[in-house]
Amino acid sequence: MHPRVFVVLAASNGAAYLPATLAAIAAQTVSPEHLIAVDGASKDDSRALLEASSARSVVVAPRLPYGQLIGKGVASLPAAEDGDWLWLLAHDAAPHPRALQALLAHVDAHPSVVVVGPKVMRADVADRFAEFGQTVTPFGRSLLLHEGELDQGQHDDDSDRLGVAETGMLVRRDVFAAVGGFDPALGSIDAGLDLGVRARLAGHRVAVEPRARVRRAGGPEHFAARSVSDAQRVAISRRAQLHRRLAYANPVALVLHWLLLLPLALLRSVAHLLAKRPAAVLAEWRATIVTLVALAAVARARSRIARSRTVGWAALRGLRASWRSVRSQRRALGDPGSMDRVVDERVGFVEGAGLWVTSLALIVGVVLLPQLIGAGAATGGALIPLADSLGAVWSNALLGTRDAFGEVVGPADPQTVVLALLGSLTPWEPSTAIVILLFLAPAIASVTAFFAARRLTLSRWVPAVVAAVWSLSPVLLAAVADGRLGALIAHLALPLAVTGLLRAHASWRSAGAAAIPLALVVAGAPVLLPMVLLLVLTAAGLGWRSPLRPLAALLPAALLIAPVVVARWREGRSLAALADPGVPLRADPPSVVDLALLSPDGTLSALEPALAALLPGVDAAWIALALIVPLALSALVGVVLRPSAAWPWVLALLGGFATAVAASRLALTTLDGEPVAVWAGSGLSLVLLSLLALGVLAADVDDRPAAAPGALVALVAVATAVPLIAGTFLSPSALTPAPERRMPAFVDAAAAQDPGVGTLVLRPLAEGVLAVDVERGGGRTLDALSTTQLTREAVSPAEAELAQTAVDLAAGGDVDVTALLDDLGVRFVLLEEERQGAAGAHDRAQRSLDARGDLQSIGQTEAGLLWQRLEAQTAQREPSPAGAGWLLAAQLLALVGAVIAALPSLRRGARARTRRLAGSGEWQ
C-alpha cells in the first residue's frame, strides 16, 4: 500500500500550461491522495481552470513567488500522518504518467531518502535535460547539473544530489515542516537547492530518480513572468547566491562576507562589462544592496538551519561540483551541437594576401617620406611637433585657456585627446609616435580595409583588393605628404567605423568594436560629424530591434566632440565646430569635377609632370577619369545586383560627396589673414569607402567572374599611386625633420625655469604687413593649437592692443609697452627671417628694435633675430577651470568602456538558466 501523497500545485498566470499539467497529474498510474491548487492572483484563466479540475480545494493567494505559494498550499492540507509525502509542482511542469510511481518506488527502496527529484526535461526538446539535480561550485554558485545535455541514460546510475529542482520534487511532509519549508528569501532560483542542503544537514539524503520525468517550460525564475531578461536573471541568481553565502557561513566568516559585498560587486561589474552584459551591472548592484540591508532574512535563514541541523557542513563537501565538472558543463552549454554551429569561412590575413598588400604599403610609406627616416619629430605642411613632455601634452587636453592672452577659455579639440594617447606610445618623445604613424599609415590603412572587407564578403581575394585600393588612395597619400594628421587618422579608422556601425546592432561587442574607430573619425575629421550622425540613425533603423547599440557606439565620439559643439553653439557660430584641427593649411579649391574624380588638392596636378613626359598634350583629368571608371562600374553593378544591401552605402556615397563639396567651400579658419577652407579629402574618403563597399557587394554575388575586374581595380590603384609618390621626389616635400629646438636656445633655457615665459614673435609677410603673436615656453606645439582660437571671427581687445604695440615696436615709435608685455609675461622679442617681398619691412623692424633702450639684443639665432626685455615681470597664468579633469576623465572612461565592450566575451556558457519555452506539450 502506497503512503498518502498530496500534490501541491502552484499557479500564477499559467493558463497556457495548466491544461497539460492538470491532464498529466490526472493520468498518473499512482493516484495521489489529494490535489491542492494555489492560485497566485492570476489575471488570466488559471483560477477557472483550477476550479474546474479535480483539485480538492483551490487556495486563493496574493501574487507571491513559487515557494511561498507552495507554503500556502501546504498550510491548507489536512492534519499530517506518519509517512505523508508532498509532491510539489508548478503550472508549467507536466509530469510523465509514471513519474509519481517511479518517485515513490525510489523512496520505498531507499528509506533514508526524504527528498527525491525527477529528470526535468525541456518542453521544446524532450530528449534534453533542463536539469537533473543541483549542486554548487567551489565558490558557492548554484549549478544545474547536465543542463542542455542529450539524455542517453548516461547519468542514470548516479542518484545522490545536493539538491533537486523545486518543481517536481517529492518530499516527506514531516521533513519539509522540520526544516522550515522553502526559504522566503529564495523566491525562485536556488529554492530547491537550499531545501536539499537543509535536509542533508538534518541527516537525511537527497536523490534523483531517472525513471521519473517532468517536462518544464521554463526555469523557476519565470514563474508568473512571461519573460525574464539577462539582467533580471543576474539579479535573481546573484541575490540567491549572496543570501545563501551569508546564511551558510560560520559566524566568523559571516562578517567578512558582509564586508566584501561592495568590493565584490565592483569587481563583478567589470566582469559583466567584459562579458558584454552592461545591463547586468545595475542588476548586480541591486542584488548586492538588497543583501546588504536584508540582515533579518539572513538571521531567519541561519536560525532555520540551526534548528534542524544534526551533521556538519563537511558531510556536504563530496556533493559539490569540482572545477573540472564546472568547465565541462560550460563547454557543453557553449557547444550545443553541430546543428547550431556556423562555420566561418572568411579568408585569413596571410592566406588572403593581406600580408603582401601590407608589406607593399609599408614600403610606400617609407618611400613617400624618406627625409623623415631617423627623425624624432616632423614639421611642415599642416604639422608641427608635440610638446616635449608627455605631461604637457595631457595638460593641453584639459579644459582651459586656448590662447596666449588667457582670454579664450574652452574645451580641447577631440584630436588633442587622440594626440595625447598617441604620444603616450613613445613617452620619451611624444612627437616620435607621429613620425612612426606617418610611415605606417599606408600599412595600417591596408589592415583596417582588409578586415573591414572581410565583414562584407566571404571572397578570398576581394579583401586584398580593397586593402590595396584603400592604402594607395590619393586621399591618404596626399594627407601623409601634407601632414594632415586629423584627416589621416580619420581615413585609417573609417572602414572599421562604418562597417562596424552598420552591424553594431548585432551585439554589444560589435557596438564596442565600432565605437573606437568612430571616435577617431570624429576627432580627426569633425566635418564628417553630420554624416556620422546620419549613419548612426541608419544603423539604428537597420537594427530596430536593438537600436540602443548603434547609439551607444556613438557615445565615445559624442563625449569627445560635444564640448566643442556646445561651446561653438553658445558663441553663435555652430559651423566652426566642423573646422579641421591642427595647423591651417591652404590649398587650391578643387572643382566639382576634381571631387568627382576623387581628387583632393594637388592630386591631378601631381599627375601632370609624369604625363607631360609620357603623353604630351593629354589632360590629366582624362587619365584620372579612366582610372576611376573600373571602380565606379563595379559599384554600379553592386547597386543593381543587391539593392537591398547597397542602399546604406549609396547614402554614404552621396553624403560623402556632399560633404566634400561643402567642405571645399567652407572657410572657417585663417592663415596669415587669409581664409582657409576645410579639407575636402575627408569627405572623399567616405566616397571611396562607399564605392569599394558597393564593389564588394557586386563581387560577392559571384566570386569567379569578378576576379578579373578586381585585379584591374587593384592595378589601377597602384598606377594612381605611382605619380603621387614620384611627385614627392620631383618637388620639395612639405614635411621635413623638425629642428632640435623650435625656439632659440636662449628662450629654451628660460622656458626650462618658467614654462609660461612669453616670446613676442614678429613675422614680416609683405611690405606694410606684419603678423604678430605670443608663443609660450619652447614654442607653439600641435597639442596646444585649438580651433577655439583658430576659428574666431573677431580679435579681442588684448590682441588689438598687442597689434598696435607690435606696429609701434617695428615702426620705431617711442612708446612705453612695458605694462602690456608684463601682463602677457613677454620676456623676449623674436623677429623671424624675412620673406620674399618683405625685406624692407624686416630691416625697418630690426633697426627699430635695436634702437630701443628697454631691449637687449641677443643676435642672430636659427629662428631669427632675438631681443630680451630688461626688467621684465613674470605674469601669473590662470589655473585650469574647475572640472577640467572630470571632462577628460569622462572621455577616457568612455574610450576604455568601448575597448572593454570590443574585447571577446568572457561568457562561455549558452545561458545561466533555462529560458521560458514554447509550451509543455503532452507525454507520448
Look at residue 882 and tell me whether its pLDDT is greater than 70.
Answer: no
What residues contact 685, with CB distance under 8 A and at least 6 apart? 473, 475, 476, 487, 490, 491, 494, 525, 656
Which of 907 and 336 is assigned the larger pLDDT? 907
Cβ neighbours, 10 Å, residue 428: 9
Segment 348-399, tens digit of pLDDT: 787 778 888 899 889 988 888 888 998 889 998 889 999 888 988 998 888 7
**DSSP secondary structure string, 49-112?**
HHHTTT-SEEEEE-S--HHHHHHHHHHTSPPP-TT-EEEEEETTEEE-TTHHHHHHHHHHH-TT
pLDDT bin (cut points 50, 70, 90) of residue 523 is very high
DSSP letter for 380, please.
B
3-class DSSP assignment, residue 418:
helix
Which grid cell is 308?
534542524
* Torsion angles phi and psi, residue 61, rounded to 5: -130, 160
Which of 97-101, 684-688, 806-810 comes out lowest in average pLDDT? 806-810
pLDDT of 628: 73
Residue 556: all three cell numbers together: 565615445
Lowest mean per-residue pLDDT among 18-22, 224-228, 516-520: 224-228
Per-residue pLDDT tens digits for 38-85: 999 888 888 999 988 888 889 999 988 898 999 999 999 988 888 899
Position 354, amino acid:
G
Q: Whole-angstrom Cα distance, residue 380 to residue 387?
A: 16
Please give the grid coordinates belonging to residue 289. 544592496
Cβ(438)–Cβ(372) under 8 Å? Answer: yes
- For 202-236, give the DSSP string: TT-EEEEEEEEEEEESS-GGGTT-S---HHHHHHH
Residues near 153 by beta carbon (within 8 Å), at least 6 away in sequence: 210
| Helices 279-293 + 261-274 axis angle, to 10 | 170
Cα–Cα dist 61/38, whole Å: 7
Chain centre to alpha carbon of residue 883: 25
Residue spans of beta strands (DSSP E) within 376-481: 378-379, 400-401, 409-410
Confidence (pLDDT) at 276:
64
User: Residue 289: which residues within 8 A CB-CB, separation 6 or more?
Assistant: none
C-alpha cell at 333: 552549454
Region 699-727 average pLDDT: 59
What pLDDT does residue 740 have? 79
Tens-place pLDDT, residues 764-775: 877 777 788 888
Measured CA to CA, the distance from residue 583 to residue 593 in angstroms comes to 27
User: Helix 430-454 vs helix 681-701: angle between axes, to the nearest 10 degrees?
Assistant: 30
pLDDT confidence of residue 335: 42
Q: Give me the count of residues in the chain.
A: 924
512 and 900 Cβ atoms separated by less than 8 Å: yes
pLDDT of residue 726: 55
Interval 801-850: pLDDT, tens: 777 777 777 776 666 777 777 777 888 888 887 666 667 777 888 888 88
Percent of the residues in the chain that have a pLDDT greater than 90, as a whole number: 30
Judge whether residue 718 has pLDDT over 70: no
* Beta-carbon count within 10 A of 682 CB: 30
pLDDT at 178 exceeding the cut of 90:
yes
Kindly give, in sequence order, each residue whose CB lies less than 8 Å from that of residue 196, ignoring residues fewer than 6 positions away: 115, 134, 161, 162, 163, 164, 206
Q: Rounded to an integer, what is the distance from CA 50 to the centroid of its chain?
A: 50
Question: In sequence order, which residues have a C-beta less than 8 Å from that of residue 678 and are 6 or more positions away?
Answer: 527, 578, 579, 580, 663, 664, 666, 667, 668
Tell me which of 123-127, 524-528, 556-560 is least confident: 123-127
910: pLDDT strictly greater than 90: no
**What's the CA gap between 319 and 301, in Å, rounded?**
21
Per-residue pLDDT at 912 = 40
pLDDT tens per residue, range 413-459: 899 999 999 999 999 999 999 999 999 999 999 999 999 988 888 77
Q: Nearest 5 degrees, angle CA 822-CA 828-CA 829?
A: 105
Question: Residue 512's pLDDT is what?
Answer: 85
Residue 579 φ then ψ, to 5°? -65, 150
Rounded CA separation 684/663 (Å): 10
pLDDT at 337: 34
Residue 121 DSSP symbol: E
Taking residues 337-344, what's their average pLDDT? Answer: 36
Reply yes or no on whether the pLDDT at 676 is more than 70: yes
pLDDT surpassing 70 at residue 339: no
Percentage of the chain beyond pLDDT 70 is 85
3-state SS, 132-182, equals CCEEECCCCCEEECCCCCECCCCCCCCCECCECCCCCCEEEHHHHHHCCCC
Question: Given pLDDT bands bounded at 50, 70 and 90, which one contains residue 905?
Answer: low
Question: Is the model's pLDDT at 610 over the cut of 70?
Answer: no
Pick the closest to residue 486 from 526, 513, 517 (CA basis): 526
Q: How far is CA 518 from CA 500, 510, 523, 551, 723, in A?
A: 9, 12, 9, 12, 31
Q: Using pLDDT thresholds of 50, 70 and 90, give the confidence band for residue 341.
A: very low
| Angle separating helix axes 620-641 and 643-664, nearest 10 degrees | 150
Average pLDDT over residues 558-565: 92
At residue 336 the predicted structure's pLDDT band, cuts being 50, 70 and 90, is: very low
Q: Which three cell numbers stand for residue 903?
A: 574585447
Helix (H, G, I), strand (E, B) or coil at 890: helix
| Interval 69-79: pLDDT, tens | 999 999 999 88
Which amino acid is it at 893? L
Q: What are phi and psi of 859, to 5 degrees?
A: 115, -165
pLDDT on residue 908: 43
- Residue 732 CB neighbours (<10 A): 8
Mean predicted confidence (pLDDT) in 109-125: 90
* Banded pLDDT at 108 (limits 50, 70, 90): very high
Would the pLDDT of 681 be above 70? yes
In one-letter notation, the amino acid at residue 232 is Q
Question: Looking at residues 606-614, what average pLDDT do you find?
Answer: 52
528 contacts 536 by C-beta, under 8 angstroms: no
Q: Which has the closest alpha carbon to 125: 721, 921, 808?
A: 921
Does the pLDDT at position 907 exceed 60? no
Tens of pLDDT, residues 725-778: 655 555 567 888 988 778 888 888 888 888 778 888 888 877 777 788 888 888
User: pLDDT grade, residue 338 (50/70/90)?
Assistant: very low
Contact 122, 103 (CB under 8 A): no
Phi, psi (deg, nearest 5) at residue 592: -65, -35
In sequence order, which residues have a C-beta less than 8 Å from that of residue 376 and are 6 or more positions away? 429, 431, 432, 435, 737, 738
DSSP state of 183: -
Residue 86's DSSP bridge partners are 6, 171
pLDDT tier for residue 883 given thresholds of 50, 70 and 90: low
Contact between 388 and 355 (Cβ < 8 Å): no
Q: What is the mean pLDDT of the chain?
A: 82
- Model pLDDT, residue 685: 92
Query: What integer pLDDT is reported at residue 340 of this predicted model?
Result: 35
Q: Which string of DSSP letters, residue by residue, matches 806-864?
A: HHHHHHT-----HHHHHHTTEEEEEEEPPPTT-HHHHHHHHHHHHT-TTEEEEEEETTE
Give per-residue pLDDT as tens, 273-321.
Answer: 766 677 778 888 999 999 999 999 999 999 999 998 999 888 888 888 8
Q: Residue 899: exposed, middle, or buried by beta-carbon count in 10 A (0-12, 13-18, 19+)?
A: middle
pLDDT of residue 660 exceeding 70, the answer is: yes
